[in-house]
Amino acid sequence: MTSSTLALPLRPSRALRDHPLVTRYAPVLAMVLALVAIWYVAAVAMNWSLVRDGFEREETPYTMSDVLAGTMDAERPLLPAPHQIAAAFLDSVFGYPPLAPRSLVYHSLVTLSATLLGFLLGALFGIVLALLILHSRVLERSLLPWIICSQMVPVLALAPIFIVVLGALGLHGLLPKSIISAYLCFFPITIGMVKGFASPDPLQLELMRTWSATPRQVLWKLRWPASVPYLFASLKVAVTISLIGAIVAELPTGAEAGIGARLLSGSYYGQTVQLWSALVAAAVLSSALIALIGLIERTVGRRMGVH
Amino acid sequence: MPKPSLSVPDEPLADSRPGRLVVDAQNISLTFDTADGRVEALSDVNLQVAEGEFVSFIGPSGCGKTTMLRVIADLQQPSSGTLTVNGMSAEAARLARSYGYVFQAPALFPWRTIEKNLKLPLEIMGYSEIEQQQRVERYLSMVNLTGFERKFPWQLSGGMQQRVSIARALSFDPALMLMDEPFGALDEIVRDHLNEQLLQLWKSTGKTVLFVTHSIPEAVFLSTRIVVMSPRPGRIIDVIDCDFPTERSLEIRETPEFLKVAQRVRNGLRAGHSYDE
């Protein structure tokens, strides 16, 4: 009796603390809250002189609290406050029909289509390169320096060249962007798959030899399934890179649509809030893409007996 | 039974009189050049194995017993000497899928279920779906693993996994089984149990078995012949015939005859070692 009455007040709090949702998300939530708090402090500090100068230019009397309030809803702040970004983001996502040119959904879809096509091309190209490298030492020695060089040249310098050359060939719009995106994202896939294709146990390879399996059978029944974990790891890296590639490709082209275009016009007109909400859209997009690949990975993993 | 895609003339196989040689090795030598100089893994090894024999190779590490098995399997090539396996060259025998190889580790494919693991060599050799299914059932029941078809390898114990790998080697019905310390990584009790099972399998299938081991009781219990080897250079120092009754159980290990053979193997191993010291 006494013990149960004593235990009663403890029970709800302990149950709450041990709840799986709490143990899983509490650390994340704490981190987010801390970041938001730091952000607000930074927004006040960075926008302070901007807002004060504004009051002084207009020669209106002001108090400290006026300036403080001003740092929270300036039209073109140096650093917009989180709630400004959230409001602008929600407004540009839900405030317009999805395909209106002012809708962030529309711009995200434009960038997403270039990302997905680029990712597909890059993944195929990356896997084919890995197969070629696996196939012959000579190819490895002749291809690998070029592959590494290709990643050392800044894509921002290459993108205009790609656009001009492909434009001269009559390719506009989606494809040049996808090619730049593919150019960036094939690399981690090649590196990952070279390792993946070489990952089977020597005993498994020798077993295939004792069964006198053909090289093609060794590839499809051993090397390919053995490389699946490597494939998904490199796909996750590649998909974010291909999104960056698609956005970067939108910058030098003066594209009219896409997250890159929003970033460009935002920075051109000093629309920092628009800039930040485009960044949020890019972050949401890449998280969604990684989550999607994670989901496919788990589904494939279950079928392949991953525990 | 479907023909292997790389078929070889059937002539030598047609000759099935008893005592036909499955392995005939004459003066096999194998040397490696390593950073520390030349290593003689095998030196002038002669060995004839007749159909239906169970031959064990025993000896300390580095005596070339595994190398000998690998040479027979065409996983390594001898530096000199002549070798025929099933009446043809080692390479032709491998291409004709004349042997099943069992390694010390089960080497199952972790992404395949037990059933699919058994089917792997059959898929590679082009057996029909129906035939594959029949063989999976037959060989899984032969190693007492019926009911585990849909399990993944990690769901089975080490001993069970090794039984799957034996079933996999048997599944395409090769004339010869090459087993490289298949029970070396298992504990004594499991090993005893599998030894009895392997003996049953050998009797019921009539296969020729070449078996590498570290264990004297295992070699004496299983074999019709024991090849004692010694290292540096790897060579055969004694060949001992064991003719225990075919119906034998583990208790035979307590009999004086058994102990006498075991003693001779031990003496051979000791003699081989003193050479080294």
Predicted confidence (pLDDT) per residue in B166-180, tens digit: 999 999 989 899 999
Which residues fall within 8 angstroms of residue B174, CB to CB, at 6 or more apart?
Answer: B97, B98, B99, B100, B207
**In this complex, which of A206, A221, A305 lies closest to B124 when CB atoms are compared?**
A221
Q: What is the pLDDT of residue A126?
A: 95
Every domain of chain B and the residues it spans: 18-98+174-247, 109-173
What is the value of ipTM here, to two decimals?
0.85
Please state, in angstroms and as integers, the Cα–Cα distance from residue B179 to each residue in B56, B258, B276, following that order. 9, 23, 27
Domain annotation for chain A: domains and CATH numbers: 2-77 (no CATH), 104-303 (1.10.3720.10)
Please state, in angstroms and as integers, the Cα–Cα distance from residue A241 to each residue in A160, A190, B232, following that order. 18, 14, 56
Min distance B2 CA to chain A CA atoms (Å) = 14
Quick check: A220 contacting B, CB < 8 Å? no
The answer on pLDDT for B10 being more than 60 is no
The DSSP element (H or E) to which B259 belongs, if any, is helix B256-276
Query: Measured between alpha carbons, how far is B230 from B44 in angstroms, rounded to an integer?
Result: 12
Q: How is the beta sheet containing B37-50 ordered, strand by strand?
A: B37-50, B21-34, B80-85
Residue B152 to residue A307, Cβ atoms within 8 A: yes
Q: Which of B68-72, B246-250, B256-260 has the lowest mean pLDDT?
A: B246-250
* Tokens 């302070």 found at: A48
**In this complex, which of B103, B112, B121 lies closest to A203 when CB atoms are compared?**
B103
Nearest CA in chain A to B100: A210
Residue B37, strand partner residues? B34
Quick check: A205 contacting B, CB < 8 Å? no
Nearest CA in chain B to A218: B124
**In this complex, which of A211, A221, A305 lies closest to B152 when CB atoms are compared?**
A305
CATH T-level fold of B18-98+174-247: Rossmann fold (3.40.50)
Nearest CA in chain B to A207: B101
DSSP result, chain A: -HHHHHHHHHHHHHHHHH-HHHHHHHHHHHHHHHHHHHHHHHHHHHHHHHHHHHHHHTT----HHHHHHHHHS-SS-SS--HHHHHHHHHHHHHSS-TTSTT-HHHHHHHHHHHHHHHHHHHHHHHHHHHHHHHH-HHHHHHHHHHHHHHHHS-HHHHHHHHHHHHHHTT--THHHHHHHHHHHHHHHHHHHHHHHHT-S-HHHHHHHHHTT--HHHHIIIIIHHHTHHHHHHHHHHHHHHHHHHHHHHHTTTT-SSSHHHHHHHHHHTT-HHHHHHHHHHHHHHHHHHHHHHHHHHHHHHHHTT--
From chain A, pick out residues whose CB is under 8 angstroms from the CB of B71. Answer: none
**In this complex, which of A207, A228, A305 lies closest to B154 when CB atoms are compared?**
A305
Residue A207 to residue B107, Cβ atoms within 8 A: yes
Quick check: A208 contacting B, CB < 8 Å? yes
Residue B124 to residue A217, Cβ atoms within 8 A: yes
From chain B, pick out residues whose CB is under 8 angstroms from the CB of A304. Answer: 110-111
What is this structure's pTM? 0.81
Average pLDDT for residues B88-108, to the nearest whole number? 91
For A77-114, the pLDDT digits (tens) are: 888 999 999 998 998 888 888 888 888 899 999 999 99
The answer on pLDDT for A2 being more than 50 is no
Q: In degrees, to the nearest 5, what angle opens at C-alpha A216 toward C-alphas A215 and A220?
A: 120
Q: What is the pLDDT of residue A92?
A: 86
- Given a contact cutoff of 8 angstroms between Cβ atoms, the answer to whether B99 and B178 are in contact is yes
Q: Which of B72-81, B215-224, B261-270 has the lowest mean pLDDT?
A: B261-270
Quick check: A201 contacting B, CB < 8 Å? yes
The answer on pLDDT for A9 being more than 50 is yes
Enter the DSSP assignment of B4.
P
What distance separates the 2 farthest-apart alpha carbons in chain A?
90
Which residues of chain B are at the A interface, by a Cβ-Cβ cutoff of 8 Å? 4, 6, 73, 75, 94-95, 97, 99-101, 103, 105, 107, 109-113, 120-121, 123-125, 152-154, 172
Min distance A207 CA to chain B CA atoms (Å) = 7
Q: Torsion angle of alpha carbons A286, A289, A293, A299, nearest 10°?
A: 130
**In this complex, which of B75, B112, B172 lies closest to A209 when CB atoms are compared?**
B75
**In this complex, which of B4, B99, B111 lies closest to A304 when CB atoms are compared?**
B111
Query: Measured between alpha carbons, how far is A76 from A235 in angstroms, rounded to an integer?
Result: 38
Nearest CA in chain B to A227: B111
Residue B125 to residue A203, Cβ atoms within 8 A: no
- A-interface mutation test, from B124, B166, B177, most A Cβ less than 10 A away: B124
From chain A, pick out residues whose CB is under 8 angstroms from the CB of B120. Answer: 211, 221
CA torsion through residues A267, A270, A276, A277, sign = negative
Q: What is the pLDDT of residue B16?
A: 42
Q: Which amino acid is at A236?
A: K
Instruction: Look over chain B and give the mean of its residue pLDDT values, rounded to a whole number.
Output: 85
Residue A305 to residue B109, Cβ atoms within 8 A: no
From chain A, pick out residues whose CB is under 8 angstroms from the CB of B97. Answer: 211-212
The DSSP element (H or E) to which B136 belongs, if any, is helix B129-142
Strand pairing category for B235-241 and B225-230: antiparallel
Average pLDDT for residues A118-146, to the nearest whole number? 91
Q: List the one residue out of A244, A266, A281, A249 whose CA is nearest residue A180.
A: A249
Q: In degrees, to the nearest 5, what angle opens at C-alpha B68 toward C-alphas B62 and B73?
A: 135
Encode A1-69 in three state secondary structure.
CHHHHHHHHHHHHHHHHHCHHHHHHHHHHHHHHHHHHHHHHHHHHHHHHHHHHHHHHCCCCCCHHHHHH
Tell the burial category of A41 from Cβ atoms under 10 Å away from its Cβ (0-12, 13-18, 19+).
exposed
Q: List the one residue out of B8, B27, B148 whose CA is nearest residue B88.
A: B8
What are φ and ψ of residue B155, in 5° steps?
-85, -5
Q: Which amino acid is at B115?
A: E
For A249-273, the pLDDT digits (tens) are: 888 766 678 898 888 888 888 888 8
Quick check: A231 contacting B, CB < 8 Å? no
Q: Which of residues 247-306 of A touch B (CB under 8 A)?
A: 304-306
Q: Torsion angle of alpha carbons B253, B258, B259, B261, nearest 10°?
A: -140
Average pLDDT for residues A172-181, to the nearest whole number? 87
How many Cβ atoms from other residues are within 10 Å of residue B136's Cβ? Answer: 22
How does residue B12 score in pLDDT terms, banded at 50, 70 and 90?
Answer: very low
Query: Measured between alpha carbons, how far is A177 from A110 in angstroms, rounded to an integer?
Result: 10
At B238 the three-state DSSP class reads strand
What are φ and ψ of residue A159, in 5° steps?
-55, -50
Residue A210 to residue B95, Cβ atoms within 8 A: no
Nearest CA in chain B to A216: B124
Enter the DSSP assignment of B267.
H
> Highest-confidence range of A154-163, B93-102, B261-270, by mean pLDDT?
B93-102
% pLDDT > 90, chain A: 45
Angle at which helices A104-135 and A259-268 cross, to 10°: 120
Quick check: A203 contacting B, CB < 8 Å? yes
Min distance B237 CA to chain A CA atoms (Å) = 29
**In this complex, which of B94, B111, B154 lies closest to A210 when CB atoms are compared?**
B94
